[in-house]
Structure 1
Amino acid sequence: MKKHTILFLLFLIGFNQSEAFSKIECNQTPDKYINIPGTRLLIIPPKGFVISKKITGLEKENAIIQVMDLIGGNYYKNSATFTKSKFENKGIKVIEFKEIKIAGFKAKYAHIEGGDGTQAINLVFGDTSFSTVILAPLGSSNIGLASEIKNAILKVKYDKTITIDPLASSFFKINSNDSKFKFAKSTANLFIYSENGIVKDPYKDEPMVIITTLPKDGTTSKEMMIKSMIDGLVQNGFSIKEEKKPIIGKINGFESIEVEYIAEQKGKTKLIYLTVISNTDTSIAFYGITESDFENNLEEFIKLSHSLRFK
């Protein structure tokens, strides 16, 4: 289920308690709703859950509720394949599926179970101007939380008047960015860097960088995360033609792995540069993709990835 969550996050698309937990520092309403930083979503956290320092959402020990708020997205397009039959065709057991309304918006709710016995509660809702996804993976150690997580998710609110700080939900920082790729915009938990920070919708043939952060546990290695990233690209039409030997080392004192690929997509040859940088409980995933000027763009990708640090 974790691999499925990673792929869904990137392409829509063991916690250290002493460092992971923080006090709730966000807008809180009298009825105990809180705003998830970097989103327009409000939720009453289930007992023991607090704002996470590793993902956009909430956490409690080894449980998470992840929020991806795609402002400018279209719920109807993004949820078209979010159906009971699609899950079942992939061999996923559907415990519960229903189409409902959340905070006045159309929504789809699913409680599913993977072949390994792990479960997940998923909700997607929105309209033509936004699409918000909530994911709550459930393993053997937290499956008992399913009922209270469901209750919290089905009572969420959404406030379009909230002004978003695009980098509020990021868990990385760039102290000095000397590359030509500058921050352009964020969508859900993805942070997009383009040449000179030019904003486009969508980006098509331009070289670009996507940065995101993912929770890490003792069972997921950097190599496994790179494989999940590649699997996500393949699912989005990329065909890998060549892979260079990974560079395993450290970037700014953090464990890292860097890999270059040559791939094809829609008849075009592209260079893909992937990097994973990890600390104790979080990983930064870095994608650099270009179909032109491979040598110079690779140099710029590396320059940006080597400036990354954790907040």
Structure 2
Amino acid sequence: MKNLTFLLIGISILILSSCSDKRPVLNDIRSHKTPEHLNIGGTRLFIIPPRRFTIAEDFTGLSKDRDCNIRFDEAKGEKIRKIFSFYNEAAFKKQGKEILEAKKIKVNEYAGKFFVIKGKSEDSEILYLLFGDNSFSVIVSAEYRTDEKQTREEIYTALKSLYYDRDMSATLSALSVYSFSDDTYKFCERLGQFDVYTSDGNLKDAHSQEPVIMVTTLDHLENVELAKLAELNRLGMEQQGATAIQLSEISTDPIHNHETLSRKVSFTAEGFQKITYQAFIKKGEKVILVQGIVFEKDIDQLEEIRQFTNSIQLL
């Protein structure tokens, strides 16, 4: 009986120590898409999610809680070597970040880099997985607490299942609260907080000067006036370097009975004269911001963008 007790205690110790204090190892990823894989809406990325992670509502990715999440950013047409110039050891050190791990890595046939840096608190870490080629780039970042060893282990295991399907067309997130009945502009991809639409569903080089529509959802704004949001947006444009900002054609006509503030904004950015049609559309605690941006030569397309915006269906 005494020996059995020691045996049970030993097994318990093994179980409790199965999640090591040592950070998991992530080497070259060799993955295949399976029925268990989940597509990250707005991207061509697939992953088998960690346990208890759900699709995030306020960013592109997965979330367990406010201290533990995985974010995905894909940029079609953005060469990966350009991303490497921003995410590297020298850049992290310049920002005062403590680098815990840095190495080259591959995700199937794509070249990449992997970094782990110290998080905001003593018991947190942030990892960055970058990969791509001359036609696209992907940034995957994960934030977790080091004292939640099981969750950390599951995040690393999930990353080993990461798969990029370059042949598929990106689709809107299942959590999207809107759609458009007008198909003049087609969903292209998700960039940060914005769903991007272009005339053919492909985002070209910035120098192409093609019209682009960007849509985002702002949450928890039940008691915020649309005029206040619009003013904050204008101030944000100034902070990002826009000059000679002029507002015109301001309207409060509703769209499908939803409170709306729309306007035309002319501004100069990076030496070019641009015009944007903006519509702030309110539904409950959410505000959907639709903004179509054109260069001065395409100002006649603003009416087309306005009609596209009016076709919005709030779900």
TM exceeding 0.5: yes
For residue 185 of structure 2, what is the aligned residue in structure 1?
Answer: 182
Superposition deviation, residue 48 in structure 1: 1.0
Decide which of 244, 247, 251 is 1:244's aligned counterpart: 247
Q: CA deviation at 1:264?
A: 1.5
Offset of 1:49 from its aligned partner? 1.2
Say if 1:252 and 1:53 are closer, same or farther in 2 by CA, change over 3 A. Answer: farther
Letter in 2 for 1:166: A
Helix, strand or coil for the counterpart of 1:166? Answer: coil
2:294 is aligned, of 279, 290, 296, to: 290
Alpha-carbon deviations, 1:101-133, whole Å to 9, x = none?
143431233546569xx9865432222333112
Q: Which amino acid counterpart does residue 245 of structure 2 have in structure 1?
A: E
Is 1:304 matched up with 2:305?
A: no
Distance 2:146 2:208 in 1: 43
Shift of 1:271: 1.5
Does the C-alpha gap of structure 1 residues 47 and 67 become closer, same or farther in structure 2, counting only changes over 3 Å? same
Following superposition, the deviation at residue 176 of structure 1 comes to 3.5
In 1, distance between residues paired with 2:201 and 2:274? 21
Using the TM superposition, name which of 290-299 and 225-234 deviates more: 225-234
**Alpha-carbon spacing, 1:159–1:167, altered in 2? closer, same or farther (3 Å):** closer
**Residue 91 of structure 2 corresponds to residue 78 of structure 1:** no
Q: Of 125, 130, 133, which residue of structure 1 is paired with 2:139?
A: 133
SS in 2 for 1:244: strand
Contact 2:114 2:127 in 1 (8 A): no
What's the TM-score, normalizing by structure 1?
0.63
Conservation of the 8 A alpha-carbon contact between 1:288 and 1:301: yes
RMSD between aligned residues:
4.5
1:101/1:110 Cα in 2 relative to 1: closer, same or farther (>3 Å)? same
Corresponding residue number in structure 2 for 1:123: 129
Residues 200 and 54 of structure 1, relative CA distance in 2, 3 Å threshold: closer
Q: Deviations over 1:138-189 (max 9, x none)?
A: 7xxx89768357525642422446x423334372311245xxx522733656
On the 8 A contact 2:92/2:99 being kept in 1, the answer is no
Distance (whole Å) between structure 2 residues aligned to residue 224 and residue 96 of structure 1: 40
Give the letter for the 2:131 counterpart: F
8 A contact 1:241–1:261 mirrored in 2: no
The percent identity for this pair of structures is 20
**Cα offset for 1:40?**
3.6
Alpha-carbon distance change, 131 to 51 in structure 1, aligned in 2, over 3 angstroms: same
CA distance in 2, matches of 1:216, 1:88: 34
Report if the CA contact (8 A) 1:209-1:301 is conserved. Answer: no
Q: How far apart are the structure 2 equivalents of 1:199 and 1:73? A: 13
Q: Which runs of 5+ in 1 are unaligned?
A: 1-26
Q: Distance in 2 between matches of 1:280 and 1:144?
A: 38
**How far is 1:234 from its partner?**
5.7
Cα distance in 2 for partners of 1:60, 1:274 equals 34
Paired with 1:301 and 1:276, the residues of 2 have a C-alpha distance of: 14
Partner SS for 1:86: helix
- State the distance in 2 between where 1:227 and 1:36 align: 30
Alpha-carbon separation, structure 1, partners of 2:233 and 2:143: 17
Partner Cα distance (1:64, 1:76) in 2: 26
Structure-1 separation of matches of 2:125 and 2:230:
20
Distance 1:303 1:126, change over 3 A: same
> Aligned residue for 1:213?
216
Q: Give 3-state SS (helix, strand or coil) of 1:305's partner.
A: helix
Is residue 204 from structure 1 mapped to residue 207 from structure 2 by the alignment?
A: yes
Secondary structure of residue in 1 paired with 2:63: strand
Give the whole-Å Cα distance in 2 for the aligned partners of 1:156 and 1:283: 35
Report the Cα offset of residue 75 of structure 1: 1.2
Distance 2:230 2:106 in 1: 33
Alpha-carbon shift at residue 99 of structure 1 (Å): 3.1
Equivalent of 1:107 in 103, 107, 113: 113
Say yes or no: does 1:192 pair with 2:163: no
